[in-house]
């Protein structure tokens, strides 16, 4: 990160430096030209006045001599002049002096400047024109052109001195600026680098929050987000540890039982007894498979706590779909299994995978603890504020004193029938909590005593209704 920021800061400096040199060169030339242009214009105007005077009253010395005396004094450069009539008649000066374009003439008495080349030498030229007066002082109607040009040696010398005075300090300032940028960036990123070292020095299993003290304020949101990630990772890791511990504890006994039953079956010589042993082995394997399935469902429930986004779904439709999948299991168990709803939508916000798990566990739990010829009914209905899912059976029921305990993992009521694992209702409560729902247990279908059934159980899950 330090190197990347340094590159982004150094690159503009190094790119702007040549631009600064170019701008300095142009400014230096402009500054050097300004005084020389003023001097050249002034001398052109003076020569113009001498030309007017010479046209009215001839001077004691020729105009060429006067102009030479007037324009001398340029030690490092040469000065040229020309006075001619518009028809090309040379009055004084250099005949090879380049003439301006006809449309480029200034107003009478005004001076214009241009660049020109004469004898292969670049000149800066000031020129003007006037109406030639007669000897009587009247305007003759004939135009005269006056030009004064000088070579550029002195201008270039002054421009070079200005450039040297500006550029040479820049050669010293640029490395100093780069050094100051590097130093300032190092100091500014020192807290961030310290934070980086603290994170690198952590043990892999250290998921405690990062202390934000000493970190720049600008990265405080990043530290908070990272701490939030660590917290979620800690929850996930704890869930994995719980799963491993639960699996190791709960699988130990069933696997040992399977091994014992298999060894007993291997020693059986009576075919009928062998058949009974194998059937018992199959039932034990089925119970173990169910336990594994429940453990995996519980782990999946915890891992999906914040992993998936909630979406809108119709709980009534989800229940109908799952009920059709459990119909065959109900027939095998000789249980009257039905679904009731009011044909209206039951909109909730949830994770489809988890809600399927919740409904499936409620149905499975009811079928396991309902005797043959029993009744299991699944209902969904909605009111203004809630969507309610009910699973009701006429089994042995859950005493009021046990209703808080059945939500504990692996808890089974003393003398409970069936072959459950004690994980179904804990999974239901975990999923319900994640969806902002609450789970209630009440008495279910009450049958006459001669049917041999108990008070039954009704488990209700109340979801917040999603606004349509």
> 87 near 74, Cβ under 8 Å?
no
**Crossing angle between the packed helical segments 352-368 and 424-434, to the nearest 10 degrees:** 150
Each residue's pLDDT tens digit, 301-316: 666 555 456 788 899 9
User: Residue 28's pLDDT is what?
Assistant: 77
* Burial (CB count <10 Å: 0-12, 13-18, 19+), residue 184: exposed
d(CA 159, CA 30): 8
Q: How confident is the model at residue 458 (pLDDT cuts 50, 70, 90)?
A: very high
User: Residue 380's pLDDT is what?
Assistant: 92
**pLDDT higher than threshold 70 for residue 195:** yes
Each residue's pLDDT tens digit, 240-289: 776 666 666 556 656 766 777 777 777 777 787 778 777 777 777 776 67
d(CA 130, CA 186): 70
Provide mean pLDDT across the span 73-100.
Answer: 80
Q: How confident is the model at residue 68 (pLDDT cuts 50, 70, 90)?
A: low
What six digits make up the tokens of 379? Answer: 């209902």
Each residue's pLDDT tens digit, 214-227: 677 777 788 888 88
Q: Is 334 left (phi over 0), alpha (psi -120 to 50) or beta?
A: left
> 378 near 428, Cβ under 8 Å?
no
d(CA 282, CA 341): 38
User: Residue 67's pLDDT is what?
Assistant: 67
**Sequence-separated contacts (24+) of 1-8 with Cβ below 8 Å:** 1/189, 1/192, 2/185, 2/186, 2/189, 2/193, 5/185, 5/189, 6/181, 6/182, 6/185
User: Residue 75's pLDDT is what?
Assistant: 55
Q: How confident is the model at residue 60 (pLDDT cuts 50, 70, 90)?
A: very low
Q: State phi, psi for 116 to the nearest 5 degrees.
A: -150, 165
**pLDDT higher than threshold 70 for residue 379:** yes
- Start-end of CATH 3.30.450 domains in the chain: 2-159
H or E element: which one contains 348? strand 347-350
User: Residue 450's pLDDT is what?
Assistant: 45
Angstrom CA distances, 395 to 176, 304, 368, 372, stand at 87, 32, 9, 10
Minimum mean pLDDT range among 16-20, 60-64, 231-235, 364-368: 60-64
**pLDDT higher than threshold 80 for residue 411:** no
Each residue's pLDDT tens digit, 417-457: 555 667 778 888 888 888 889 999 988 765 544 444 456 89
pTM: 0.47
Q: How confident is the model at residue 416 (pLDDT cuts 50, 70, 90)?
A: low
Task: Let me know if domain 310-464 sits in CATH 3.30.429.10.
Answer: no
Provide mean pLDDT across the span 147-156.
Answer: 87
User: Residue 421's pLDDT is what?
Assistant: 65
> 367 near 330, Cβ under 8 Å?
yes
Residue with tokens 């704890």: 238
Nearest Cα neighbor of 79 from 159, 155, 160, 162 is: 155
d(CA 423, CA 406): 9
**Sequence-separated contacts (24+) of 384-387 with Cβ below 8 Å:** 384/465, 385/464, 385/465, 386/462, 386/463, 386/464, 386/465, 387/315, 387/346, 387/347, 387/348, 387/462, 387/463, 387/464, 387/465, 387/466
Provide mean pLDDT across the span 65-82.
Answer: 69
**pLDDT higher than threshold 50 for residue 110:** yes
Q: What percent of the chain is predicted at pLDDT more than 70?
A: 75
The CATH class that applies to domain 2-159 reads alpha beta
- Start-end of CATH 3.30.565.10 domains in the chain: 310-464
């Amino acid at each position: 990160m330090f190197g990347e920021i340094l590159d982004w800061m150094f690159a503009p400096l190094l790119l702007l430096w040549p631009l600064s040199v170019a701008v300095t060169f142009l400014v230096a030339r402009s500054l050097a030209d300004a005084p020389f242009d003023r001097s050249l214009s002034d001398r052109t105007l003076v020569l113009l006045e001498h030309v007017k005077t010479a046209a009215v009253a001839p001077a004691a010395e020729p105009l060429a001599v006067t102009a030479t005396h007037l324009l001398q004094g340029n030690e490092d450069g040469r000065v040229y002049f020309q006075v001619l009539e518009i028809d090309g008649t040379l009055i004084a000066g250099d005949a090879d002096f380049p003439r301006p374009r006809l449309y480029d003439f200034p107003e009478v008495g005004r001076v214009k400047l241009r660049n020109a080349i004469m004898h292969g030498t670049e000149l800066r030229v000031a020129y003007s024109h006037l109406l030639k007066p007669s000897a009587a002082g009247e305007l003759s109607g004939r135009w005269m052109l006056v030009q004064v040009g000088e070579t550029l040696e002195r201008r270039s010398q002054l421009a070079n001195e200005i450039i040297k005075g500006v550029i040479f300090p820049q050669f010293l300032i640029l490395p100093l600026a780069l050094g100051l940028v590097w130093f300032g960036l190092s100091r500014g990123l020192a807290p961030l680098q310290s934070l980086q070292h603290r994170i690198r020095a952590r043990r892999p299993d250290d998921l405690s929050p990062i202390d934000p003290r000493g970190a720049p304020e600008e990265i405080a949101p990043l530290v908070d987000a990272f701490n939030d990630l660590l917290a979620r990772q800690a929850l996930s890791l704890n869930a994995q540890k719980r799963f491993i511990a639960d699996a190791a504890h709960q699988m130990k006994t069933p696997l040992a039982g399977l091994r014992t039953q298999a060894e007993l079956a291997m020693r059986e010589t009576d075919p009928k007894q062998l058949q009974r042993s194998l059937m018992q082995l199959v039932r034990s394997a089925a119970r173990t498979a169910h336990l594994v399935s429940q453990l995996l469902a519980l782990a999946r429930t915890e891992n999906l706590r914040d992993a998936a986004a909630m979406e809108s779904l119709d709980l009534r439709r989800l229940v109908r779909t799952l009920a059709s999948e459990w119909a065959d299991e109900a027939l095998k168990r000789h249980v009257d299994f039905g679904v009731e709803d009011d044909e209206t939508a039951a909109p909730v916000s949830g994770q489809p995978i988890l809600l399927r798990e919740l409904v499936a566990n409620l149905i499975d739990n009811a079928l396991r603890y309902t005797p043959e010829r029993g009744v299991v009914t699944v209902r969904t209905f909605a009111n203004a504020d809630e969507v309610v899912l009910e699973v009701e059976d006429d089994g042995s029921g859950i005493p009021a004193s046990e209703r808080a305990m059945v939500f504990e993992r692996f808890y089974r009521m003393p003398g409970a029938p069936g072959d459950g694992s004690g994980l179904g209702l804990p999974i239901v409560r975990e999923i319900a909590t994640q969806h902002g729902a609450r789970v209630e247990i009440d008495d279910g279908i009450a049958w006459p005593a001669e049917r041999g059934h108990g008070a039954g159980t009704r488990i209700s899950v109340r979801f917040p209704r999603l606004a349509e």
